[in-house]
Amino acid sequence: MHFEEIIKIIKDRRDTLQVTQETLAELSGVGLRTLKQFESGKGNPTLLTLSKLADVLGLEITLQVKNIKPFK
Amino acid sequence: MHFEEIIKIIKDRRDTLQVTQETLAELSGVGLRTLKQFESGKGNPTLLTLSKLADVLGLEITLQVKNIKPFK
DNA sequence: TAAAAAAGAGCTTTATAATGCACTTTGAAG
DNA sequence: CTTCAAAGTGCATTATAAAGCTCTTTTTTA
């Protein structure tokens, strides 16, 4: 999952929950400026920042082996 | 997936592939100091740093809705 | 379309991630 | 034990994420 996809997931999820950037910033403890920067594709958030956002949005960050082993 | 779990996945995967921190640092373009700090639980890597490591290790970062909706 | 709300951007400061270097500690193999 | 490789730490520097404030742009809605 690439950067842009991660951003999209966050934005889509926020839209689904009908939460504004401002509200999400408050609920997550992440600065509004930081959230805006991230969602507009200009950021490189720390794992902590991302997980704060994910927590509030009911999202989970996972790391998994990317082995799409095809059958012969 | 919490911080410690993410660290564990990285370390385990590196062990499985039998790659040293030094080699992983070189292959991923992440500084050795940064990797050491992260693996020893002292870091808060940026998403870019984490994804560089994940790429080399064949791991994928994903964000998914954490809705473990139980049946009644 | 006008007004209001939400999102994005410029500028600045502060905190800290990223990095390299040298040194210490740990662990495994002999 | 002793050696050697790998992992971890202290210290310092540089780059940049986080943050707030203000203003502009875009989107929504009345």
Which residues 6+ apart lie within 8 Å of A39 measured at CB?
Answer: A7, A10, A11, A21
Contact B47, A47 (CB under 8 A): yes
Other Cβ atoms less than 10 A from the Cβ of B18: the count is 7
Give the C-alpha separation, B58 to B25, whole Å: 14
Q: How confident is the model at residue B67 (pLDDT cuts 50, 70, 90)?
A: confident
- What Å value separates CA B38 and C1' C28? 24
* Side-chain half-sphere CA neighbours of A17 within 13 A: 17
Query: Which residues make up the interface with nucleic strand D when CB must lie under 7 A?
Result: A 29-34, 37-38, 43-46, 48-49; B 14, 20-22, 33, 36-37, 39-40, 42, 46, 48
Cβ <8 Å between B13 and A65 = yes
pTM: 0.89
Please tell me which of the candidates B2, B58, B67 has its beta carbon nearest to residue A58.
B67
Give the C-alpha separation, A23 to A29, whole Å: 10
The pair of structure tokens assigned to A47 is 């794992």
Each residue of A12-27: pLDDT tens digit? Answer: 999 999 999 999 999 9
Cβ <8 Å between B64 and A66 = no
Each residue of A26-50: pLDDT tens digit? Answer: 999 999 999 999 999 999 999 999 9
C-alpha torsion angle, residues B29, B35, B39, B40 (rounded to 10): 180
Each residue of B14-39: pLDDT tens digit? Answer: 999 999 999 999 999 999 999 999 99
Tell me the residues of A at the B interface, defined by beta carbons under 8 Å apart. Answer: 1-3, 6, 9-10, 13, 44-48, 50-51, 54, 58-67
Q: How confident is the model at residue A11 (pLDDT cuts 50, 70, 90)?
A: very high
